[in-house]
Amino acid sequence: MRVQTERHGRVLVVRIDRPNKRNAIDADTTRGLDAALNELDDDEELWAGVLTGTSEVFSAGTDLAGGAGEPTARGGEYGVVRRRRSTPLIAAVEGVAYGGGFELVLACDLVVASREARFGLPEVSRGVIATCGALFRAPRALPLNVAKEMLLTGDPLTAERAWSLGLVNVLAEPGSARSAALALAERVCRNAPVSVRASLQAVDAVAGAADDEGWAATDRGIAAVRASQDSQEGVAAFLEKRAPRWAGR
């Protein structure tokens, strides 16, 4: 199975388990994430969730060979990024969270990262753009110029810098992001669940008020890029493991 779940008392741990593909998201992974987060949303005995990958990588994003499958009815892309949740979800990041992997992190409420973790939006280096929320969520979670730097250069952000900028809540030692995220989830679960859910929904209602406009702007960007020769060249070069030859159109 691409996605594994474990219950730790009131906490559901959701683990992407596709290490041979750097936990890239394919259609089966999307369905697995959707089912796991439906469980988190629907079970009143669950008061918090942790989303993680394997010990070496969180997720390298969309599987470019086969795609991530269709958006789900409740979760949207990856079964996660358009989901309206009332149960807190914590990202626990070891290794890289690149492209759609970083967009999964941005869709969570809190972030725990290993000191060796890296966050990146390398889409421009492949002739495409971020399609799963990063175009408007990255500037929300980071200073505007830092978000632009990630989006325009494709260069990664270290966990240390992400923590100093406020993206990461807890900086953990290598190999301990999951346990640190569970400890943070337990801190959440010590509180009244109705109060936690109401607080999260209120914050998201305000913070996400412009999301519809953000998705519309993303769709316009996607349409412009898909019409270009460079988008085809970027993906081809990545799959063929060579430097792209950009046409600029």
pLDDT at 237 over 90: no
Establish whether 233 is a catalytic residue: no
The pTM score is 0.96
Q: Flag whether 248 is in a domain.
A: no
Nearest-angstrom CA–CA distance, 198 and 248: 48
pLDDT band at 230; cut points 50, 70, 90: confident
Range of the domain at 94: 3-175+192-203
Establish whether 103 is a catalytic residue: yes
Neighbours of 237 (CB within 10 A): 18
Q: Flag whether 22 is in a domain.
A: yes
Q: Catalytic one among 77, 94, 116, 123?
A: 123
Nearest-angstrom CA–CA distance, 147 and 19: 28
Nearest-angstrom CA–CA distance, 5 and 32: 10
Q: Flag whether 27 is in a domain.
A: yes
Is residue 244 packed enough to be buried (19+ CB in 10 Å), middle (13-18) or exposed (0-12)?
middle
pLDDT at 1 over 90: no
Provide CB contacts within 8 A for 227, sequence distance 6+: none
Nearest-angstrom CA–CA distance, 230 and 232: 5
Q: Flag whether 208 is in a domain.
A: no
Per the structure, the count of domains in the chain is 1
- State the SS3 of 63-128: CCCCCCCCCECCCEHHHCCCCCCCCCEEEEECCEEECHHHHHHHCCCEEEEECCCEEECHHHHHCC
The helix (run of H) or strand (run of E) holding residue 11 is strand 11-16
Place of tokens 């890296």: 118
Per-residue pLDDT of 97-130, as tens digits, reads 999 999 999 999 999 999 999 999 999 998 999 9
| pLDDT of the residue at 231 | 87
Q: Catalytic one among 77, 94, 103, 116?
A: 103
CATH at residue 117? 3.90.226.10
Q: Flag whether 33 is in a domain.
A: yes
